[in-house]
Amino acid sequence: MLLVFMFLSGCTQIAVAPLLPTYAHQFGLSRFGQGLLLAATGLATLAVALPSGALSDRLGSRRVTILSGGLMAGASLLQAFAPSFEMLLIARLIFGAGYGITWTSGLSWLSDVTPARSSIGGSVASAGLGNVVGPVLYALLVEHFGLSLPFMGTAFCLAAVTALLMGLRGTDAPAEMPAPMRAGILLAAQDRLTLSATAAIVVAGVSSGVAYLLVPGALHADGASTGMIGLVFSGAGLLFVAGSAVTSWFGHAAIRLRVAIGGMLVLALAISPAAASSASLAMIGMLFATSAARSVVWTVAYPLGAVGAEESGAGIGLVMGLLNGVWAATAVVTPLLASVIAEHSSFRAVFGLAEIASVVLAGMLAVFVLKTPESPYRTLPAKAIRALRGLHPHD
């Protein structure tokens, strides 16, 4: 049931991307307005990520996760009937708060309820499946039935699953009190693996933020329907699922800094087609290539952070919140900055800048790793292996 809950949240979060041209037409949105709508989820996640992680460590992940279900259900219902852009933006902010809590405390709950001998690998598959189903399903429903119906259905499903979650077992109180949030942040900030995971998430967030903002508009300008745009994004999501599955199959061998750095470099270079041409084929090729590369980066980055949390003693809930907060900050800044540049320049310029920034960050991380003493761990704990199979990618 937890996996269904995560599927629904991921499905709804990404589904707004192919709907941007529709919202732009209905509310007369500028490119900046579309960027603000896309960034709203990340903005709210940024606000709740660290507090929800700390609460999860202290109060228990079950209680905090169930709270997030109510927030997302209410937000989906509000989005279904939003009469103005302002109300739509509020709905996305509320949804983003619930989403951020889900992917902080929900991951901890999965670790609590799954024995070490069991696989919790379904969470990556569930999130990836949401990336496949969400864009095309919502786009087709909106195209034939309007903007209200899909979000009404989402609200009902989220409310029903949240009610069922209340009957599941979970740890409502931690065995021992974690370090205070400020102390945990300081511990995490000094950990080599956590810092590396942070850099990887920034690169992944930059590529997805730029692509989700600009690709729908580019395809729409070339005559693609809302349904066709959703189908393109679902195809990219399918590649993401495949990449995550392959990475997870390698188990602990994939949770390595060199894998994260290599994935970051490949992801940066995968932006090249859109930087070289604004044609639809180049945009689609870039979207598919970055989705495949990003699947490796996401699947490796969170387990690296989990290992770092165990080594530093910062608390896994807090570190997951920290990493989600970094993703959220990237999800906020990237679309807004890209929208401003796109309005005064070209799509190609935006993608080119994103590629340069990603290459520079990956190179800086490589230098940092070479100059920093190697972490003392030799074999990864069982919890880290479970983390590789279970932690959620954001697109």
Q: Reduced to 3 states, what is the DSSP secondary structure of residue 100?
A: helix
Helix, strand, coil in percent for the chain, rounding step 5: 85, 0, 15
d(CA 340, CA 30) in angstroms, rounded, equals 10
Tokens representing residue 345 in the block = 């320049």
d(CA 198, CA 245) in angstroms, rounded, equals 22
Burial of 389 (0-12, 13-18, 19+ CB in 10 A): buried
Give the number of other Cβ atoms within 10 Å of residue 228's Cβ. 17
Per the CB < 8 A criterion, the answer to whether 338 and 38 are in contact is: no
Write down the pLDDT at residue 156. Answer: 93
Q: Give, in degrees to the nearest 5, the angle at Cα 394 between 17 and 135.
A: 30
Residue 75 — φ and ψ, nearest 5°? -65, -40
Parse the chain into domains and list their residue ranges.
2-390
Residue listed under structure tokens 């290539």: 289
Per the CB < 8 A criterion, the answer to whether 216 and 17 are in contact is: yes
pLDDT below 70 — which residues of the chain? 1-3, 107, 110-128, 168-182, 251, 372-395
Tell me which fold the domain 2-390 belongs to.
Growth Hormone; Chain: A; (1.20.1250)
Handedness of CA 235, 241, 242, 244 (dihedral sign): positive
Q: Which of 20, 32, 103 is nearest to 65 (CA)?
A: 103
Per the CB < 8 A criterion, the answer to whether 395 and 99 are in contact is: no
* Rounded alpha-carbon distances, angstroms, from residue 177 to 186, 315, 361, 381: 17, 10, 36, 21
d(CA 276, CA 282) in angstroms, rounded, equals 8
Per the CB < 8 A criterion, the answer to whether 317 and 178 are in contact is: yes
Q: Which of 246, 244, 228 is nearest to 283 (CA)?
A: 228
Per the CB < 8 A criterion, the answer to whether 120 and 110 are in contact is: yes
Give the number of other Cβ atoms within 10 Å of residue 107's Cβ. 29
